[in-house]
Structure 1
Amino acid sequence: MVKKRKAGVNQKSAQNVEEQTHLRNRDSISVFLERSYKVYNRVEFIETDPIFFPSSYSGNKEYVAFVSALFAYGRVNLIKDFLIRFFDYYGNDPNNNLVQESSSVYYRFQTSKDIFNLYGMITEIYEKYGSIEGAFLSFSDELEEALKRFVLYCREFGRKRLLDRGFFQLFPDPESSGLKRFRMFLRWMIRKDEIDFGLWKNFDRKDLIYPIDTHILRFADKNGIVSNETNSLKNALKITEFFRGINSSDPLKYDFTITRLGMINNCKFKKDYNCEFCAHVINCPFC
């Protein structure tokens, strides 16, 4: 019994030390990220990000952004090739009244039938609600609840039409998934700066949850924010809470910046052999 009690005390003490270290690290990370934000949060870097597509295409930007976000998985060249085929056939506006699927418009796990039904669902949303933001608002004025109900709406659309798993892969279970692609889309729509569009006016950026990709997860794991690199809702909430401690009104401010550090500088967010070649090595909190 004594040993167990002692172990519990030691564990609590270790947790307190970890929390204090975590707070000190957050201060140094905040300074570093603000400096990096001024370097990377510029349009010249969007070619390495899925936001390149809605930034480049004309037409209904919300619609183009939604489709681009849904298919933002896999190799960049394959995504680009698919989106070109998609928008060439289905158009840059969700009101083209197409009635026939194209056998050449498919992507990885999504068949041409999945794509055709996806387009049909999107046009239905625009007909019923006027926009995707309108659909969200019809479900709830609280962003998380609106997102959950929107994804369930999409999943129900697929179930009613007996669609295959390729369609549902685009709409993961909102109760457990981090919903990375949806959260990326929401960042584009709700935040406003040189990168993000800020088209939606009825939701607040402070309520956004992190879209956790490989680089965000690595950052969080190496800095003790999460204990694994799983794209789960639990991890997304932990990461967002950390950044709310830095900027409570705009927790996703550094999302684009962190992913550029990973993609452009090959940053591992810890001391690594790449550090000596990095332009940010001076005063870097990770080295």
Structure 2
Amino acid sequence: MILSELKEFLDEKADLYNHIDFIANDPILIPHRFSSKQDIEIAGFLTATISWGTRKSIINDAEKILLWMGNSPYDFVLNFQESDMDFFNHNSVHRTFNKEDLNYFIRNLSRLYKENDSLENLFLVSEDEANFYHSFDRFRTEFFKENEIHRSKKHVSSTYKNSSAKRLMMFLRWMVRQDRKGVDFGIWKKIDQKNLSIPLDVHTGNISRKLNLIQRKQNDWKTVEELDLVLRKFDDKDPAKYDFALFGLGVDKAF
């Protein structure tokens, strides 16, 4: 397939899968239950943090967290007390993300929201930065600044260690992308969606190789940048829309 044909094919698939019906079976369902900016951010961040494994298990485990928070995440985070952990009646939150991790994440979110009105402030990209390579590290440093060796650090990926940072990138896609499809929120206005990349994982990586969009075998940050080079030629204003195409093709058994 020549480049122009590949662009047309991916544009068609992105338009097909970027549809309101996508929400019902995807983890983005969780933040879509809220209307206020901070509630959406917190629900989205926690859901994205545990987004590995099956979509059904991610949604079920995110629901456990939100139920414990009284389905009022922003109010819960601002008023969080250590004693609140006594009422989380599960030893495991999601796979290797456990109760201790959840405690530490909520404590950090509480601190951050007492200092910022939005998490958006922690992900800003400088004018000389084309992607979130440095932004993600700045966020990670700020998030863990009270305990840089805590076990939870493994749950926020490090681009400086060449991670694709799939979960952080997915969270940013949700918050930043603006269109009229109704899937992504587009509530962050200080960040340009042109800087977004694909949330790269095993599935999107495999499809990208099948389409010859990338050559690297690893699903790491260098591969994210390799994929950027192609997708930004297709649409330099909204490259992350192709996440819908690659994801949709990944679950399409016929493809």
2:41 to 58, 62, 67: 62
Task: Please report the TM-score for the alignment, with normalisation by the length of structure 2.
Answer: 0.85
Alignment of 1:1-287 (within 5 A): 25-57=2-34, 60-90=39-69, 91-93=72-74, 94-100=77-83, 101=85, 102-104=88-90, 106-137=93-124, 142=129, 144=132, 145-159=134-148, 162-164=149-151, 167-175=152-160, 176-193=162-179, 194=181, 195-263=183-251, 265-266=252-253, 274=254
Would you say the 8 A contact 1:151–1:174 is kept in 2?
A: no
Aligned residues: 239
> What secondary structure does 1:254 align onto?
helix
Displacement, 1:32? 1.3
Query: Is the deviation greater in 128-137 or in 90-99?
Result: 90-99
Would you say the 8 A contact 1:155–1:171 is kept in 2?
A: no
> What secondary structure does 2:214 align onto?
coil
Structure 1 gaps of 5+ residues are 1-23, 267-273, 276-287
Q: Residues 111, 37 of structure 1: CA spacing in aligned structure 2 closer, same or farther, 3 A cutoff?
A: closer
Task: Please report the TM-score for the alignment, with normalisation by the length of structure 1.
Answer: 0.76
Displacement, 1:134? 2.0
Would you say the 8 A contact 2:164–2:220 is kept in 1?
A: yes
Would you say the 8 A contact 2:50–2:97 is kept in 1?
A: no
After superposition, give the CA deviation of every residue in 1:193-229 in whole Å (9 maximum; x if it has no partner): 2211111111111111221123320122123332344
Q: Residues 213, 82 of structure 1: CA spacing in aligned structure 2 closer, same or farther, 3 A cutoff?
A: same
Q: What is the one-letter code of the residue matched to 2:57?
A: L
After superposition, give the CA deviation of every residue in 1:160-200 in whole Å (9 maximum; x if it has no partner): xx522xx1221122211010000111111111122111111
> What secondary structure does 1:217 align onto?
helix
Q: What is the one-letter code of the residue matched to 2:16?
A: V
Would you say the 8 A contact 1:70–1:181 is kept in 2?
A: yes
CA distance in 1, matches of 2:203, 2:31: 22
Structure 2 gaps of 5+ residues are none
Would you say the 8 A contact 2:42–2:73 is kept in 1?
A: yes
- Report which of the two structures shows the higher radius of gyration computed on alpha carbons: 1
Query: Is the deviation greater in 177-186 or in 150-159?
Result: 150-159
CA distance in 2, matches of 1:140, 1:158: 26
